Chains A and B, each alone.
Chain A
Amino acid sequence: QKEVEQNSGPLSVPEGAIASLNCTYSDRVSQSFFWYRQYSGKSPELIMSIYSNGDKEDGRFTAQLNKASQYVSLLIRDSQPSDSATYLCAVKIQGAQKLVFGQGTRLTINP
């Protein structure tokens, strides 16, 4: 079983709609959860961090964490063509220095 799993996509969403990206993880001592956005040919950019159960909002982005169910999600409201990118879910296990990445979800926002 992969440690961090994401839907590989591609996920296609019309402009202005809500894009929903999901990630599940297998290690129960996971501590910190991150979403990175990566445009083609560029490096990953940290867009959201979440550490506690519940929702965390930042502009059009909302991260949701449910430790009991071992999933973390990213919602993008009012999706824009500029949101088209690969979104990487990453998990940090308590006491470890490593991030474990999912395979990424490719998101396309259609005008």
Chain B
Amino acid sequence: DTEVTQTPKHLVMGMTNKKSLKCEQHMGHRAMYWYKQKAKKPPELMFVYSYEKLSINESVPSRFSPECPNSSLLNLHLHALQPEDSALYLCASSQGGGGFDEQFFGPGTRLTVL
């Protein structure tokens, strides 16, 4: 089962709101990723968790706050976002461990910031 799930599918929020994106995988993967994708651009890495620890933060603004409660779950907490943060937010997972490491993406959350 190569499935990563994400909720919600769509999210509209104001600049003063606080919201969270959720991601879950049951493949026993130990690495999980958050990406941001703008139209007609490739996915842009934001964060990597490896064995439930944050291993990469690609200089993401602090209004994005990741959390990995356990090896199957990944959250992205959003606060005081800007309209330019509107994008497709993708979660991915992989075996981890530094090998060949195929990444599998979830369906994404389409975020609109008003």
Given A34-B103, A97-B98, A101-B42, output 13 extra A-B contacts at Cβ < 8 Å: A31-B100, A32-B101, A44-B43, A44-B105, A45-B105, A46-B104, A49-B100, A51-B100, A92-B101, A97-B31, A103-B42, A104-B40, A104-B42
Min Cβ gap A44→B in Å is 5
Closest chain-B Cβ to A106's Cβ sits at a distance in Å of 9
Q: Give every chain A residue within 8 A of B40 (Cβ-Cβ).
A: 104
B100/A32 in contact, CB under 8 A:
yes
Interface size on B, residues (CB 8 A): 23
With both chains docked as a complex, state the minimum distance between the C-beta of B56 and any C-beta of chain A, in angstroms.
6
User: Which residues of B (77-114) have their CB < 8 Å from a CB of A?
Assistant: 88, 90, 96, 98, 100-108
In residues 61-111 of chain A, which contact B (Cβ within 8 Å)?
Answer: 88, 90, 92, 95, 97-99, 101-104
Nearest chain B residue, comparing its CB with the CB of A4: B42
A42 within 8 A of B: yes
Which B residues are in CB contact (< 8 Å) with A45? 105
Report, nearest first, the 8 A-B pairs whose CB atoms are least far apart: A101-B42, A43-B105, A32-B100, A43-B108, A44-B105, A43-B107, A97-B48, A49-B102
Query: Residue of B at shortest CB range from A51?
Result: B100
Give B contacts to A, CB under 8 Å.
31, 40-43, 45, 48, 50, 55-56, 88, 90, 96, 98, 100-108
Max chain A Cβ within 10 angstroms of own Cβ: one of B90, B100, B107: B100
Contacts of B103 in A (CB 8 A): 34, 46, 90, 99
